[in-house]
Amino acid sequence: MLQRARDQLPAALAEAEKVQGVAAIEVALATAQALAQAERPADALTWVTRAVEASPASVRLHQQQWKLVRDAPELSNDERREAIVQDIDALLALRGQQPSALLAAADALREHGRAQRADDLERRIAAEFTGSPAHEQLLYRKVNAGLGPDGKPKPEQRPAIDAFLARTPLHDPSLREEVGRLRFELLRADPATPADELLAAIEFTRIAGRIDINTPYSHGPIALAERGVHLGRAEALVREGPAAFDRLVAELAAAGMVEEMRDIIRRDMFGVNYDALGVVLLATGRSAEAEAALLQSQEVSPGYPESLARLAALARGRGDMDAAEGYLAAGFELELFGRDNPCKLMLAQIYREEHGDLKGYEKYLDKIRARARELRRAKVIAARAASPRLRRPSRSSASTAPRSRTIRCAARSW
């Protein structure tokens, strides 16, 4: 494909040379990008420089030029840095009162070792352009930089998060959504958070939600249920989830996402949502309905450890330790980002309760691992048994049937 694009370049370049007027600027930029992809950086820089000369106040074109200069193999590091700084000066001479230009310049200057000047530009944005998208971006970066290694907010970030969300207007919906989620996580982690404040944070994520819709329709209701507050609203939210998930999947399809990826996303969202429904129903004392919801979570998202751990807890409550261990074995090996696996935690808890400490725990885990292998094997066998197979030909048709057949059966991976 790359070779075909390279073969077509000469004709494309000849056509690009013919374009005049305003359209020539976009054509020059597109040509520069095509040349860069074809590993012709010097030619790409020539074309983007032509675009900058035609539209010297364009921040976007200057940024593209800085990128190409930064990667120019024929220049030394000092020459690259000097060329970029000179071009930044030229841009600011024209657009020095535009916050987007100031932010782009600050980013480029910081990248090339001019941190003091970058700081000065950012302070100017904060002082003179407080309502701009550029200042909003700087405030978000400050919030993001303060997150822990696990990506979770710290209690001392509460003022910065609240200040960000109190801005009017908020320009970038994706930033509003992300910081709203961070506020929810912060309030959820604080046991002193008033119930109404927690609910308000969840409702904010519902209104702001565009991509992260697990928070308002699944994680939020779980947080309410775990505290035993606003249970009616928690159930209403979790039951609104499926329609919201289907809308998102339809939007992803319209945007061109492949069906396989959409199916994975849909299953993951529904798995979490059924788990949330189970938690809410348990909090309202409807154990049988809760267990059915948790089983449905496993049906749509097999191996999801949260619902497996809750099913194990229900089985333990009935005194069925064999079933409890089976659920935990099905989910304890999965590594989760930013949090402990609840199945693994429950296995350690069970062992400690039975033995008083964790001596011999690894040997016990070997038994659980063997159980997990048996479960996977049984699942594969069941999937094969459920696959359509060709029937064995009857004696009357044996003479006309092919002597050998290839029977294909698909077993789902678990």
Of 18-22, 156-160, 161-165, 336-340, the poorest mean pLDDT is in 18-22
pLDDT digits 0-9 by tens, 161-173: 999 999 988 899 9
Say which range, 9-23, 83-97, 175-189, has the weakest mean pLDDT: 9-23
Residue pair 274/296 in contact (Cβ under 8 Å)? The answer is yes
The number of beta carbons lying within 10 Å of the beta carbon of residue 401 is 12
**Mean pLDDT, rounded, for 233-241:** 98
- List the one residue out of 117, 155, 121, 122 whose CA is nearest residue 136: 122
Pick from 360, 362, 321: nearest CA to 344? 362
Residue 125 parent element (H or E): helix 115-128
Q: Is 257 helix (H, G, I), strand (E, B) or coil?
A: coil
Query: To 5 degrees, how large is the angle CA 53–CA 59–CA 61?
Result: 50
- Measured at the CA of 225, the angle between CA 222 and CA 230, to 5 degrees, comes to 115
Give mean pLDDT, residues 105-117.
95
Q: Check if the beta carbon of residue 230 is closer than 8 Å to that of residue 252.
A: no
> Long-range CB contacts (< 8 A, 24+ apart) of 377-383?
379/412, 379/414, 380/411, 380/412, 380/414, 383/410, 383/411, 383/412
- Has residue 196 got a pLDDT over 80? yes
Q: Please indicate, yes or no, whether the overall pTM of this predicted structure exceeds 0.85.
A: no
DSSP 210: S
pLDDT one-digit tens code per residue, 301-319: 999 999 999 999 999 999 9
The closest alpha carbon to 330, from 318, 342, 343, 339, belongs to: 343
User: Read out DSSP for 68-87?
Assistant: HHHT-TTS-HHHHHHHHHHH
The CA–CA distances, whole Å, from 292 to 101, 156, 214, 283, 296 equal 56, 41, 20, 14, 6
List the single range of 24-38, 54-68, 242-256, 320-334 with lowest mean pLDDT. Answer: 24-38
